[in-house]
Structure 1
Amino acid sequence: MKYIKSYILFVLMGLAVTGCTMDDLKDDVNDLKDRVTLIEQQVKLLNDNLAVISYILDPQNKTISNVKKEGQGENQQYVITLSNGDQLTLTIGKEGTVNEPEITIGEDGKWYINGTSTGVTAVGENGKNGEGYPEFRVQDGNWQVRFGDGAWANVPGGEGIAGGSSLGDQIFESAKVEGNNFVVTLKDGTVHTLPIVATLVCTIDRTGLTFDDEDFLVINKGERTVIPVKIEGEKMQVTYPEGWRATLNKLDVADEKGNNYQLFIFAPSAETKALTRAAADNTADVTVQVQKGAFWAVDKIKVKNPRDYSNNLNKYEDGMAVTVGGFDIKQEEYGAATEITADQSITQGGVYFVSTNNVTLTYNLGSAGVNNLIIIPTNEDITTINLSVSTQVYLTGTFVCQNVNFTTTLNNNVLRLNEAGVNVVFDRCKITGLKNTKALMVPNTANTHYLNYCAIVNSDIRIEETEAEVIKNAGVAIINNMDCSRLIFENNIVYATHTVTGSTGQHLVNFKLITGNTRTIKDELILNSNTFVDVETSGGSGVTGLVYCKSINKVTVKNNIYWLTNPATNFINSSGNNSESTTTVIFRTADAMTDATGSNNYGYTGNTDMKFQMCYSKTRPDTVDELILETVFDTSDQTTFNKSTGTFIPKAGYTQYGAQR
């Protein structure tokens, strides 16, 4: 065992500094090897004998078909063959000196280790099987235990395995074959007489079959699998899970292994719900059983269809990542998920998979907030999830929405980030209800709280302000006064719905993707294939920009369309006076953009008094092309340009630019 043998290197290092002679060193190493071998043998003996005692306590309708005695003297062994072909090894040994855990069965039928209950049932009763038996190992000099394929845990009082000089067994006093019985006597004097039924056999031959990590045989929907079986006895029966079918077919001649039957298993054409590892029933078992007099022999095999990994919930529960907007969501980080099938309120954070189309969820948690709030569909058939937000979302972890109609009734900022390094993702969402003077995302404490990863992709942002609200000129921001490490804004439509006539300030003005002249995008900004309609970046505060910040480490800006039907040039500034601005821009940064790529970005301004350009002043790098000013929409065609429906399809020759719907 690697974890035991690793002690050799440790001891050799210690001996190297003691000045021992070569002979002393050889003796010490040989002694250590002997002790390592002894410990390995003790661990194997303990585990083998526990498997035997587990069978005695809970045979689960498996009988003994043969017992073979091996060895002589103090360490006799019995190889026990069960009716399903499994073999157990029982070693009868004297009291040993290796320090090993004390294993007992309590009056409550539970396994106890060193006097402490494990809570695991050892004795099958009332038709219910036991819950398994302990398996031991030695790790870093300590005893550890697990049940089934559960996690290893240190045994209380199981420290200091290194001592001892002889093997021992704490369970069995003696064993012998008497006629058709195997008689076993335990250390406490209890005698168990186990019948040997040589002509009762039920063995499913697993040779050549492939099982998954949970010991399931995976059979594709609608397919048949044929498995050899050895049967001796009478009154054969086969049971199988709901939706499946299984039959036995007797062979004319047994094969070389003695298999004289075939087990046909037919998988259902539709997926059946797979059991989790924690499942304690047998609804996944194909079971073959055969009778001989008063005795039964049973063997079984667990079956399931392959998991449907187009189902996000299946992927998540199986430990796989569900990716939304380039962001991975895994169970090991975000915990157990909740499946939603009907309208309900969000009463706490967590991961929610929605399995019914057009479900409506409401959020009204107030300042209590959430750590994580993740709302995603179980599969592509769930195209519409409604989320109504009536109080600010105080967020300290990750916020993700996919296929969500996100509506806020707040006259306030919506997501208030209350931690450094928050993640926010909107993918295939429709965002409505943003108010003038407010933002979608703000920090709870400026200079402290910031975005780690932010992706808004494949989404529509619809801003429905009245003319009276629009001319306030305070504007709407997606991200306000907050740093961001990585920002992806791709394949979105952003538009204001009100009618624009003339140049008196009826656009939504001061619209910002990110705003804050001291803020930075530390890693990268990706701004590709978006359509912006009648959301003007200038306003009463002067020429700022769609992206208004101190610096951007790296930027890519390609294939966007920026359309302003008739932009304003006169605005109300913070003092309440009229101010004039004749330029609207996409980027305004205090620091030059040194790692930037930009091309195929189209712009239009219906007011010739308003200049429209990529960057403020002369800060555009040579690697970013200037906006191409073209009339890319036919606004007279309501089937291709319609604010009421959010339809914006460019004219022929330009359809590859802007958001792709």
Structure 2
Amino acid sequence: MKYIKSYILFFLMVFAVTGCTTDDLKDDVNDLKDRVTLIEEQVKLLNDNLAVIAYILDPQNKTIANVETPTKDQYVITLSNGEKLTLTIGKPGTIDEPEITIGEDGMWYVNGESTGVVAVGTDGKNGEGYPEFRVEKGKWQVRFGDGKWSDVEGGDVASGVSLGDQIFESAEVDGNKFIVTLKKDGSVHTLPIVETLKCIIDKSGLTLDKEDFLVVNRDERVIVPVQIEGENMQVTCPQGWRVTLNKLDVVDEKGNNYQLYIFAPVSSVKSMTRAVADNTADVTVQVQKGAFWAVDKIKVKVPKVYDNDWDKYNDGLPVTVGGFDISLDTYNAATEITEDYAITKAGVYFVSANNVTLTLKDNTMDNLIILPYSDKVTAINLNISAQLTVTNTFICKNVVFTSTVNNNILRFNGVNANVVFDGCKINGLKNTKALMVPQTAGTHNLNYCAIVNSDICIDESEADVINNASFALINNMDCSQLLFENNIVYGVHEVTSSERTTKHVVNFKLINANQRDLGLLQLNSNTFVDVETTGAGGVTGLVYAKNIEKIVMTKNLFHWTNPTTKFLDGNGKEKSSPTTLIFRFGENANLQDGNAMGSENYYYNGNSEMAVKLWYTSGGKPVCPSTLGNLSTAEPEIFDTNNKKTFNKSTGTFTPTANYKAYGAQR
């Protein structure tokens, strides 16, 4: 390619004219190698040949162990550290590539037009970067560094043409020497072949991060296999680290005959956590034979300690909320919010100040994720005044979620959507509505739903009771996994009629989906206060589904202060409802022993006329297996309802008595 040749010529020119050091030249070649991007198979040819050029200019104490010739014009070079380079003798291509030159003003020129980017460094410093090219929709495009791509004037690419490369004129193996000749200036380079000198750190079984670092926890040790041939072995490591090289009694199946023990710094020693330009993060092994040395390296670091999720996310690490991972690769760049803000588009938002109020200006979004910048942000206000439609993901953490929607609040119109509430306070939930519904039942579903560490207040009106209204967190949706843990759910209902009791809710459902399937249900360490599961419409249940594949239910508390024994039907007539229920399944549900596990679930019922059951019985036959256990009666009462400091619906405070402190939500 013309511009590759121009680069090489330019490097020689800079070396001769500006007096740059050999190190500057090596850095430029390595930087160029990282930036070259082209199209189709010739990309590999060019990059491979450029890697050979970089090795010729800077072997870095790696010798050639072997050279093979799989084809007439191709040479596979194996270095002493096991790395393989491929040199190909190219031929002219027929494509019209952009012409790259350096102007008298020291700027890069593309097809005779100045780019305004400095090419020639001064005082030993590099320029402003090298051009990178690609072909997009039949046109050449160029950018510098991480800048924007722009079309090259006169840069159309004709169809049916071929790329070519003429970096190398020739190459040959002559005894223990490998001789290559460059095309541009005819310079000859003779490289020694030292067959019995090896230093290969075997990284095949290691997990490296995106910067190719081996991450070792403080106070821990990692063992890395090494293959060595030669003498006078030496190892070095960064300050604070410790390494030893130990010979194996038996060579392993990969030919490794040594083990490198790498000890991370102890907790009291400071150590770098990021990649740096020098080699102080390298564990280096080197071995000698005569006048030659073979060297291999592995970069090491201890995990970075993050004090906020914003930096963690932007570094490409997952932020876990309610058991669900949120990463930059999946959800793209995030926005930081420092003050009251109107959200106008989908995305990830990190809030860095307490009590910021967010409102929604767009009520249809692909993803909406609202997270605290750090643990110091404990309250984020989100006001929803109109139904929000979500396609893929809705996640909130430490959010005070207040709805004034006279409708179902979240509508999901995607397949396998994900939703998480973690550490939230969910207010404004009214009977006759639901928190989550599908756009189309049976088509749109939840893949993962987690409601954890949250307070949920359901405010039921007198009219709701008369009209036999109900409220469900999830309504008429299939769900693959539902995690409901460490939550407080309570009902608020103020009435004056003597026919109904005050301050409780009837006909509440965690999931109301009698025609839908539920995969795994994890219902653990929750506190339910004054939320009854049945109404005048019949005996249903807190969880009402066609089928559930697996249930795990432990350490839940159910408390009804003064539950209802009579309801009014749609005609205003009294109708008895003597049972409140936790589970009801479809008649053909097939929950097997071993897939239902339950223990240490307690309830207190303030009205002996109302029965409390764990599951629905059909025709005298229980639908649930015996391994789910049963509910245990709490004696004495779970809460001291006369103590406003420990039982207060206005503040959402529910602290169990001493006998039950280990059960229910742990706050």
Instruction: Using structure 1 for the length normalisation, give the TM-score.
Output: 0.62
Shift of 1:171: 6.8
Tell me what 1:313 maps to. 310
Please list the CA deviations of residues 284-310 of structure 1 after superposition, one character each: whole Å capped at 9, or x if unmatched.
Answer: xxxxxxxxxxxxxxxxxxxx9996523
Query: CA separation in 2, counterparts of 1:615 and 1:116?
Result: 81
Tell me what 1:660 maps to. 666
Tell me what 1:461 maps to. 456
Q: Secondary structure at the match of 2:534?
A: coil
Residue pair 1:96, 1:169 contacting (<8 A) in 2 also: no
Query: CA separation in 1, counterparts of 2:456 and 2:602?
Result: 20
Residue pair 1:503, 1:568 contacting (<8 A) in 2 also: no
Query: CA separation in 1, counterparts of 2:130 and 2:9?
Result: 11
Q: Secondary structure at the match of 1:315?
A: helix
Match of 1:593 among 587, 591, 595: 591
Letter in 2 for 1:638: K
Mark the CA change 1:393 to 1:554 in structure 2 (over 3 Å): closer, same or farther: same
Mark the CA change 1:96 to 1:602 in structure 2 (over 3 Å): closer, same or farther: closer
Please list the CA deviations of residues 516-575 of structure 1 after superposition, one character each: whole Å capped at 9, or x if unmatched.
Answer: 210111x31100000000111001210000000101111101100111111112223356
Mark the CA change 1:427 to 1:43 in structure 2 (over 3 Å): closer, same or farther: same
Query: CA separation in 2, counterparts of 1:443 and 1:495?
Result: 25
Query: CA separation in 1, counterparts of 2:131 and 2:15?
Result: 12
Mark the CA change 1:494 to 1:96 in structure 2 (over 3 Å): closer, same or farther: closer
Residue pair 2:91, 2:165 contacting (<8 A) in 1 also: no
Tell me what 1:627 maps to. 631
Alignment of 1:239-254 (within 5 A): none
Match of 1:121 among 96, 104, 117: 117
Letter in 2 for 1:343: D
Please list the CA deviations of residues 334-355 of structure 1 after superposition, one character each: whole Å capped at 9, or x if unmatched.
Answer: 0101011111111111000111
Tell me what 1:526 maps to. 522
Q: Secondary structure at the match of 1:588?
A: strand
Query: CA separation in 2, counterparts of 1:102 and 1:320?
Result: 39
Tell me what 1:11 maps to. none
1:378 aligns with 2:376: no
Residue pair 2:167, 2:184 contacting (<8 A) in 1 also: no
Letter in 1 for 2:169: S
Shift of 1:505: 5.5
Query: CA separation in 1, counterparts of 2:481 and 2:553?
Result: 14
Residue pair 2:508, 2:532 contacting (<8 A) in 1 also: yes
Alignment of 1:392-407 (within 5 A): 392-407=387-402
Shift of 1:173: 9.9
Unaligned runs of 5+ in 1: 1-38, 68-76, 83-94, 138-142, 175-211, 219-269, 278-303
Shift of 1:604: 1.5
Alignment of 1:30-179 (within 5 A): 48-49=8-9, 51-52=11-12, 97-99=91-93, 103-105=99-101, 121-123=117-119, 130-133=127-130, 159-161=162-164, 166=169
Alignment of 1:511-660 (within 5 A): 511-521=508-518, 523-574=519-570, 577-590=573-586, 591-594=589-592, 595-617=595-617, 618-630=622-634, 631-660=637-666
Residue pair 2:5, 2:167 contacting (<8 A) in 1 also: no
Query: CA separation in 1, counterparts of 2:276 and 2:443?
Result: 42
Tell me what 1:22 maps to. none
The percent identity for this pair of structures is 50
Is the deviation greater in 408-417 or in 122-131? 122-131
Mark the CA change 1:145 to 1:597 in structure 2 (over 3 Å): closer, same or farther: farther
Letter in 1 for 2:467: K
Residue pair 2:513, 2:546 contacting (<8 A) in 1 also: yes
Shift of 1:473: 2.7
Tell me what 1:241 maps to. none
Instruction: Using structure 2 for the length normalisation, give the TM-score.
Output: 0.61
Mark the CA change 1:512 to 1:65 in structure 2 (over 3 Å): closer, same or farther: closer
Tell me what 1:86 maps to. none
Shift of 1:363: 1.4
Query: CA separation in 1, counterparts of 2:24 and 2:304?
Result: 40
Q: Secondary structure at the match of 2:447?
A: strand
Mark the CA change 1:81 to 1:445 in structure 2 (over 3 Å): closer, same or farther: closer
Mark the CA change 1:43 to 1:443 in structure 2 (over 3 Å): closer, same or farther: same
Shift of 1:161: 4.0
Letter in 2 for 1:342: E
Tell me what 2:337 maps to. 340
Tell me what 1:389 maps to. 384
Query: CA separation in 2, counterparts of 1:550 and 1:528?
Result: 21
Q: Secondary structure at the match of 1:598?
A: strand
Mark the CA change 1:169 to 1:98 in structure 2 (over 3 Å): closer, same or farther: farther
Query: CA separation in 2, counterparts of 1:492 and 1:646?
Result: 11
Unaligned runs of 5+ in 2: 26-52, 59-88, 135-139, 171-180, 188-208, 216-269, 278-300
Query: CA separation in 1, counterparts of 2:640 and 2:373?
Result: 39
Q: Secondary structure at the match of 1:434?
A: strand
Please list the CA deviations of residues 499-523 of structure 1 after superposition, one character each: whole Å capped at 9, or x if unmatched.
Answer: 58977254311100100210111x3
Tell me what 2:505 maps to. 508
Letter in 1 for 2:615: C
Letter in 2 for 1:629: T
Please list the CA deviations of residues 322-372 of structure 1 after superposition, one character each: whole Å capped at 9, or x if unmatched.
Answer: 000000001111010101111111111100011111111111424xx1111
Q: Secondary structure at the match of 1:553?
A: strand
Query: CA separation in 2, counterparts of 1:554 and 1:79?
Result: 59
Query: CA separation in 1, counterparts of 2:55 and 2:538?
Result: 90
Shift of 1:147: 6.8
Letter in 2 for 1:559: K
Please list the CA deviations of residues 117-161 of structure 1 after superposition, one character each: whole Å capped at 9, or x if unmatched.
Answer: 997935259999633225899xxxxx99997799999x9678444
Mark the CA change 1:125 to 1:651 in structure 2 (over 3 Å): closer, same or farther: same
Q: Secondary structure at the match of 2:627?
A: coil
Letter in 2 for 1:344: Y
Shift of 1:471: 4.1
Shift of 1:465: 3.1
Please list the CA deviations of residues 247-288 of structure 1 after superposition, one character each: whole Å capped at 9, or x if unmatched.
Answer: xxxxxxxxxxxxxxxxxxxxxxx9xxx9999xxxxxxxxxxx
Match of 2:447 among 422, 435, 452: 452
Alignment of 1:426-437 (within 5 A): 426-437=421-432
Tell me what 1:479 maps to. 474
Is the deviation greater in 410-419 or in 161-170? 161-170
Query: CA separation in 1, counterparts of 2:369 and 2:102?
Result: 45
Letter in 1 for 2:517: T
Mark the CA change 1:63 to 1:341 in structure 2 (over 3 Å): closer, same or farther: same
Residue pair 1:43, 1:136 contacting (<8 A) in 2 also: no
For the aligned residue pairs, the C-alpha RMSD in angstroms reads 4.8
The number of equivalent residue pairs is: 474
Letter in 2 for 1:632: I
Query: CA separation in 1, counterparts of 2:114 and 2:517?
Result: 54
1:360 aligns with 2:366: no
Shift of 1:643: 1.1
Query: CA separation in 1, counterparts of 2:54 and 2:575?
Result: 99
Q: Secondary structure at the match of 1:407?
A: strand
Mark the CA change 1:438 to 1:136 in structure 2 (over 3 Å): closer, same or farther: closer
Shift of 1:44: 9.7
Mark the CA change 1:553 to 1:136 in structure 2 (over 3 Å): closer, same or farther: same
Tell me what 1:295 maps to. none
Query: CA separation in 1, counterparts of 2:20 and 2:276?
Result: 25
Q: Secondary structure at the match of 1:132?
A: coil
Shift of 1:51: 4.2
